[in-house]
Amino acid sequence: MASPKSFACSVIALLFAAHLVSAQLSANFYDKSCPNALSTIRTAGCDGSVLLDDTPTFTGEKTAAPNNNSLRGFDVIDNIKAQVEGICPQVVSCADILAVAARDSVFALGGPTWVVQLGRRDSTTASLDTANNDIPAPTLDLGDLTKSFSNKGLSATDMIALSGAHTIGQARCVNFRNRIYSETNIDTSLATSLKSNCPNTTGDNNISPLDASTPYTFDNFYYKNLLNKKGVLHSDQQLFNGGSADSQTTTYSSNMATFFTDFSAAIVKMGNIDPLTGSSGQIRKNCRKVN
């Protein structure tokens, strides 16, 4: 069983990497068909395409550049799915499990809660190319970050708020090596610390917290760090680097309640992007493979 800390970090990462696929979603979708679904997900510890293992007919998203050796927690979702299947076989989708588990994880680590709209169905395929093209890379500048989110119907405000999920989780050395060895808008002490676990030419898969101040608490220290040039990823520091995101980042750094409110609104909005509902897709028995 994963610890609460690793559970939360893994599930929030899964949620943001998944293609969440506002059709007919409802907060009380399982009230009659599986009334204990949400409590089971919570105690156990998107269209869910990110969960699919590779098959002879498609290469999935797990080895996409932003995910490979970084996206984790699949075993946690497997455990939750097994327990939910035990009480309500083929009723609750893997996509909805991801959405609920992300909400419960954030709340368990001190963050906000929100009403999750339910009724998603699971994708029957996944795409490595789509994941590589659609998931924002850690090397992106502010303009490209904003465009990436805009392409999904999310505003710059949404992007800055959702980036706050990096208050938990960890990053691979390969994704911040260039920043700590080549960039100048980084705190010297942070760069030195990260270099100890990320050599110049080796250790690609070594990991370090995205928020070294409070890595296992969902709070606003991610934004406080940015004001002090302590963003681990290049894309993180872009939110406070003399550009249009500076004002919102500064607000979040001093007003956690505002961050929580905006984050909750943005994640609900993201979860309602083109969901599979009705007769589309399926309810997988096993989140790793189609039925």
Which residues are annotated as part of the binding site? 45, 47, 49, 61, 136, 166-167, 211, 214, 219
Q: Which two tokens stand for residue 281?
A: 């897709």
Of 244, 246, 50, 238, nearest to 135 (Cα)? Answer: 50
Residues in contact with 35: Cβ distance below 8 Å, sequence separation at least 6, in sequence order:
none
Radius of gyration of the chain (CA): 18
Residue with tokens 């089971």: 40
Q: Which two tokens stand for residue 114?
A: 């929100």
| Paired residues of 26 in beta bridges | 118
Binding site for substrate: which residues?
Answer: 136
Binding site for heme b: which residues?
Answer: 166
| Paired residues of 286 in beta bridges | 289
CB atoms within 10 A of CB 229: 17
Cα 245–Cα 250–Cα 256 angle in degrees, nearest 5: 115
Of 271, 289, 13, 241, nearest to 125 (Cα)? Answer: 289
Cβ 160 vs Cβ 263: under 8 Å: no
Binding site for Ca(2+): which residues?
Answer: 45, 47, 49, 61, 167, 211, 214, 219
